C-alpha cells in the first residue's frame, strides 16, 4: 500500500490563514503591524526565488515586508551596519539574512549580529541555547525543523514516547535543532552523518526518518522501515531527460518513487517541507511583534 502524502502546501496555507487572522486582530487592537526585513547580498538566482516567496507570503499575512539588496562585493561592515540599523528600528520585528552569503563575508558574525529577539530564523546562539535546553516557548526555533515537527505531530501526536527518530544530516540549521525538538517530544534520537557506519542499517530502525543531507535521492526504499514517517528536507536540482530534451527537476534527499511504496507517510519535494519553512518564518515574526506590543 502506498504511503500517505504529507501535503506541506495545504498545511502551510492553513497556518498562513490563521497568522493573517491573528495579525488583523493585533493591528486593530494595538496598531502594530509585524515587520519583516530580509537582507540579500548579491544576485544568486535560487536566493532571489526564496526571497520573493517570503515577501509574497509576508504581504499575504498582512505584514510589512522590506527587502534590502546589497551588492555581491559588499564588505562585512556594510552588512553589519545595516543589521544594526534594523536592530534599532522598532517597526522591524524580524530580520532574516538570506544564505548562502558571498565568500568574503563571515556568515557566523553576520547571523550573530542580529538581536536574538529579532532572529526569526533561530540561528542566534542564544536561541540555539534555549532550544537545546528545551525552552521552546522563549526561543525562536529554526523554521525548517519547526515545520517538520508540525507535520510529524499531525500524524503521530505531540508525544513521541517509544518511537525511534533518525536524522540524516547534522547541520546547525536542520539536523541539530531537529534532534532537540524530537528529544523534547520524548523520541529516542539518532543523528547520522557522512562518518556513520552502515547508514542503511541505522535508518531501517527509524519510526521517524528525517533526511537533511543535501544529496539527491540518496535514501533508498530499502533504507526505510515499513510504515515509517519520512520527512524529506532536501532540495536538489537534477538533470532529467524529457522527450529527448534535458530539463531541470527538483528532487529530495529521498528516492521518492521507491520510498512511497514502503513508508507510512512521506513529504514530497517540492510541496512538502519548503512551504512550511516559510509559514513558520511568518509565525516567528508574528510572535516577535506580539512581544513588542506587550
The grid coordinates of residue 132 equal: 537545546
- Packed helices 175-184 and 143-156: angle between N→C axes, nearest 10 degrees: 40
Paired sense of beta strands 94-97 and 35-41, if any: parallel
Residue with cell string 542499517: 201
Nearest Cα to Cα of residue 290 among 97, 82, 2, 35: 35
Q: Strand, helix or coil at 64?
A: strand
Q: Transcribe 96-133 into DSSP letters.
A: EEPSSPPTTS-HHHHHHTS-GGG-TT--SHHHHHHHHT
Neighbours of 60 (CB within 10 A): 15
Neighbours of 12 (CB within 10 A): 25
- Active-site positions? 54, 98, 121
Q: What residue spans of 157-218 are helical by DSSP H?
A: 175-184, 199-203
Give the helix, strand, coil percentages of the chain, each rounded to 5.
Answer: 45, 20, 40
Amino acid at each position: 500500500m502506498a504511503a500517505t502524502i504529507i501535503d506541506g502546501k495545504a498545511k502551510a496555507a492553513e497556518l498562513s490563514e490563521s497568522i493573517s487572522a491573528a495579525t488583523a486582530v493585533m493591528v486593530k487592537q494595538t496598531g502594530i503591524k509585524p515587520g519583516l526585513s530580509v537582507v540579500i547580498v548579491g544576485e544568486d538566482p535560487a536566493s532571489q526565488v526564496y526571497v520573493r516567496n517570503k515577501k509574497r507570503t509576508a504581504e499575504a499575512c498582512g505584514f510589512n515586508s522590506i527587502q534590502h539588496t546589497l551588492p555581491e562585493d559588499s564588505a562585512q561592515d556594510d552588512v553589519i551596519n545595516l543589521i544594526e540599523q534594523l536592530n534599532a528600528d522598532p517597526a522591524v520585528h524580524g530580520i532574516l539574512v538570506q544564505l548562502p552569503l558571498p565568500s568574503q563575508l563571515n556568515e557566523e558574525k553576520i547571523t550573530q549580529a542580529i538581536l536574538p529577539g529579532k532572529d526569526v530564523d533561530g540561528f542566534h546562539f542564544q536561541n540555539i541555547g534555549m532550544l537545546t535546553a528545551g525552552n521552546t516557548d522563549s526561543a525562536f526555533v529554526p523554521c525548517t525543523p519547526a515545520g517538520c515537527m508540525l507535520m510529524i505531530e499531525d500524524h503521530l501526536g505531540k508525544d513521541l514516547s517509544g518511537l525511534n527518530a533518525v536524522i540524516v544530516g547534522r547541520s546547525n540549521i536542520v539536523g541539530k535543532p531537529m534532534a532537540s525538538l524530537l528529544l523534547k517530544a520524548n523520541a529516542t534520537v539518532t543523528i547520522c552523518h557522512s562518518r556513520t557506519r552502515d547508514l542503511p542499517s541505522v535508518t531501517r530502525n527509524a519510526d521517524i526518518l528525517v533526511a537533511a543531507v543535501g544529496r539527491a535521492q540518496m535514501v533508498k526504499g530499502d533504507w526505510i522501515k515499513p510504515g515509517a514517517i519520512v520527512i524529506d528536507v532536501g532540495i536538489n536540482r537534477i538533470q532529467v531527460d524529457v522527450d529527448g530534451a534535458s530539463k531541470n527537476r527538483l528532487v529530495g534527499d529521498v528516492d521518492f518513487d521507491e520510498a512511497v511504496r514502503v513508508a507510512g507517510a512521506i513529504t514530497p519535494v517540492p510541496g512538502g517541507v519548503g512551504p512550511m519553512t516559510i509559514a513558520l518564518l511568518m509565525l516567528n515574526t508574528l510572535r516577535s511583534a506580539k512581544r513588542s506590543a506587550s
